[in-house]
A and B are shown apart, each in its own frame.
Chain A
Amino acid sequence: MNAAIPILTLGGLAAFFALLSIITASIVGPRRYNRAKLDAYECGIEPTPQPIGGGKFPVKYYLTAMLFIVFDIEIVFLYPWAVSFDQLGMFGFIEMVSFIVTLLAVYAYVWRRGGLEWD
């Protein structure tokens, strides 16, 4: 038996359950058309018209996502290092220290420039 089979079985069951719920609800539930009901909910007022061609993108999110990628990759390198730490010995530790310290330097730079502030 393959390790993927149980995962596929569980995923299949979950997918079946989710689909079944969604389909059941659409059959069982009532349907009373009302235009106002289908508008986006904004606490009772007419919904704000969506800007044509998309709104302005708060560039802050881009910075957060980019920093996340940088540190995510760092973490990904940490995993095999941690698992075979005992085999790699002191040399492996020193390697990782130099890697982490380099990234801590850029972390300090981003902090100092205010890249981690959020308004």
Chain B
Amino acid sequence: MNTTTDDYFNAFTMDPWWPIVFAKVLGLFILLVLIVLITIWAERRVVGRMQMRIGPNRVGPLGLLQSLMDGVKLAFKEEIFPTAADKFVYILAPILATIPAFLAWAVIPLGPMVWMFGYQTPLQLTDFPVSVLYIVAIASIGIYGIVLAGWSSGSTYALLGGLRSSAQMISYEVAMGLSFVAVFLYAGSASTSQIVAAQEKTWYIILLLPSFLIYVTAMVGETNRAPFDLPEAEGELVGGFHTEYSTLKFAVFFLAEYINLVTVSALATTLFLGGWRAPYPISLWAGANEGWWPLVWFLGKLCGFIFVFIWLRGTLPRLRYDQFMKFGWKFLMPVSLVWILIVGFARAMRNDYNWDLRQTVIVIAVPIIAILIVMYIIESIRERRADAAVAEEEEARTEFDPMAGGFPVPPMPGQSYTPTRRSKATVGVTALPVSTDAEIEEA
């Protein structure tokens, strides 16, 4: 892969495979597995507290080893291949879900340059000019695992779960993809490390708050988490796409799901919360953004996001599917498109005409508020009219004249069809007299 002339990306090509790349890969792998084990434990404990109970506290100190023990238990369960399953795809699906989950982390910046085994190297596995797009691409491969698991199980619930989750993921991917645009626009780059570098002065959560909110909503939808966990709606679909999976195949799906949760949180941190940069009061200390310290800030921000995920699960009920799709397509998408236009306008005005922030805000806000008011008025008038139309229609419903338009038409749903004389005659002919048993016996 050819990198650009940019010196920064050359730093990654300097790393020798042994020991630097190897150590980074192994470290990242262990870090991810650990984070997942702790997240599962934390989720059960925190949700437990939120529901006024204690949660798992038996295995290990504070129950910390609970998720590891669950994994071990799953390994000793019986492996089941459903009769109707497509065996090859059935085995392939969990692998296809796991690999992309890990791969997405290759470009997440965990820290600045550090010393490692006598080499100076960035605390990031690799980076290139389009690394945010790399994460999106990898995530879109990860959807295959879910879809194929649903299909290959040969079970109705799994199939419906797989269909639902892929429809859900692609719907929210639109909003997610749009929320990146404003960040790229301000950072002038689509590489994770350069986006972090561009946030040296101000984090993008302050500059681009709407983008952040859209991203956070979309990331909950992308990871199939509550309140958007419709693919696994227990009351409707049992377990969704992994209904038919047992043993470590199920555990591997679980792992991938939680890594995806951590990945989207890490991406949110990188794009909007300054990545590994220290938060405000600590950043006054000169050494805060050097050496290994940034890893602490990064993991801290990550834990914050994970807590929000758990909090959401403990608080909000599941959405109805049509409401969920409506929210993604009719709210998140137009809002992000309009927001991109606003950001672009403000930026272009600042670049070409030296407008200051106040001027831009006034020029943008006044027409938008005016449009919103006009839309509100139009909408309320239309609603009143629609109500009247519905009432009128209900009155008109009972009567239906098939010949009203000059030629016969079938009735619309809700209209009752008064049969004409001719159709009555046809009915009479087809309904042959049926002789009862008694009559036959008599004969």
Which of chain B's residues 152-168 have a Cβ closer than 8 Å to chain A?
153-158, 163, 167
Q: Which of B95, B167, B341 is within 8 Å of A64, CB to CB?
A: B167
Interface positions, chain B 312-368, Cβ under 8 Å from A, are 321-322, 325-326, 329-330, 333-334, 337, 340-341, 344-345, 347-348, 351-352
B102–A107 touching, CB < 8 Å: no
Interfacial residues of chain B within 21-51, with CB under 8 A of chain A in the complex: 21-22, 24-26, 28-29
Beyond the given A3-B126, A6-B12, A13-B102, please list 15 additional residue pairs across the A-B interface where CB-CB is below 8 A.
A5-B17, A14-B99, A14-B101, A18-B94, A21-B75, A25-B74, A25-B247, A37-B80, A40-B158, A40-B244, A78-B340, A83-B188, A86-B351, A96-B344, A97-B341
- Other-chain contact of A32, B78, B125, B189 (Cβ < 8 Å): B78
Check if B337 sits within 8 Å of A3, measured CB to CB.
no
* Residues 168-188 of B contacting A (Cβ, < 8 Å): 170-171, 173-174, 177-178, 180-182, 184-185, 188
Q: Which residues from 7 to 22 on chain A have a C-beta closer than 8 Å to any C-beta of chain B?
A: 7, 9-11, 13-15, 17-19, 21-22
A35 to B158, CA, bound (A): 19
Residue of A nearest to B130 (CB): A79
Residue from A13, A43, A84 having most chain B Cβ neighbours under 10 A: A13
B248:A6 contact, CB within 8 angstroms: no
B99, A24: Cβ atoms closer than 8 Å: no
- B75-A6 in contact (CB<8A): no
Residues of A within 8 A of B80 (CB): 37-38
Q: How far is the CA of A93 from the CA of B347 in the complex (A)?
A: 9
Tell whether, in the assembled complex, residue A24 and residue B248 are in contact, meaning their CB atoms are under 8 Å apart: yes
Answer whether residue B19 sits at the interface, using C-beta atoms and an 8 A cutoff: no
Asked if A118 contacts B352 (CB within 8 A), the reply is no
Q: Which of chain A's residues 75-103 have a Cβ closer than 8 Å to chain B?
A: 75, 78-79, 82-86, 89-90, 93, 96-97, 100
Instruction: Say yes or no: B12 contacts A61, CB within 8 Å.
Output: no
B interface list, Cβ under 8 A from A: 1, 3, 9, 12-17, 21-22, 24-26, 28-29, 74-84, 91, 94-95, 98-99, 101-103, 105-106, 125-128, 133, 153-158, 163, 167, 170-171, 173-174, 177-178, 180-182, 184-185, 188-190, 238, 243-244, 247-249, 251-252, 321-322, 325-326, 329-330, 333-334, 337, 340-341, 344-345, 347-348, 351-352
B415 to chain A, nearest CB (A): 20
Residue of B nearest to A2 (CB): B1
B248 touches A82 (CB 8 A): no
Quick one: closest A residue to B349, CB to CB? A90
Docked complex Cα distance between A1 and B14 (Å) = 6
- Nearest B-chain residue to A19, judged by Cβ: B95
A-B contact count (CB 8 A): 216
CB–CB B105/A10 < 8 A? yes
Interface centre among B25, B80, B82, B125 (most CB of A within 10 A): B25
Contact sample, A vs B, 16 pairs, CB 8 Å cutoff: A6-B126, A11-B99, A24-B248, A26-B79, A29-B76, A30-B76, A42-B156, A61-B167, A78-B340, A83-B184, A86-B351, A100-B337, A100-B340, A104-B334, A104-B337, A117-B322
Q: Are A7 and B126 in contact (CB under 8 A)?
A: yes
Question: A117 — which chain B residues lie within 8 A by C-beta?
Answer: 322, 326
A13-B102, A25-B247, A82-B184 known; A75 and B174 CB under 8 Å? yes
- A11 → chain B closest CB, angstroms: 5
Q: Which of B82, B125, B340, B344 contacts A6 (CB 8 A)?
A: B125
Nearest A residue to B180 via CB reads A79
Interface centre among B91, B153, B171, B352 (most CB of A within 10 A): B171
Report how many residues on chain A are interfacial, defined by Cβ distance under 8 Å.
64
B126 touches A25 (CB 8 A): no
In the complex, what residue of chain B is closest to A111 when comparing beta carbons?
B330
A90 near B352 with CB under 8 A, answer: yes
Residue contact A85 to B171, C-beta cutoff 8 Å: no
Q: Given A6-B126, A41-B157: A116 and B76 within 8 A (CB)?
A: no
Expressed in whole angstroms, the Cα–Cα distance for A57 and B72 within the complex equals 40
A109 at the interface (CB under 8 A from B): no
Instruction: Note all chain B residues with C-beta closer than 8 A to A11.
Output: 99, 102-103
Are A24's CB and B75's CB within 8 A?
yes
Q: Are A18 and B326 interface neighbours, CB within 8 A? A: no
Of A30, A37, A67, A82, most buried by chain B (CB within 10 Å of CB) is A82
The answer for the CA separation of A102 and B177 in the assembled complex, in Å, is 19
Of the residues A42, A82, A104, A116, contact of B155 by C-beta under 8 Å: A42
The 7 closest A-B pairs by CB, nearest first: A40-B155, A14-B102, A25-B248, A82-B184, A25-B247, A21-B248, A82-B185
Interface pair B28/A40, CB less than 8 Å apart? no
**A28 interface hit (Cβ, 8 Å):** yes
- In contact, B170 and A107 (Cβ under 8 angstroms): no
Known contacts A7-B125, A40-B156, A118-B325; A78 and B79 CB within 8 A of each other: no
Which residues of the partner chain A approach B17 to less than 8 Å between Cβ atoms?
1, 5, 9
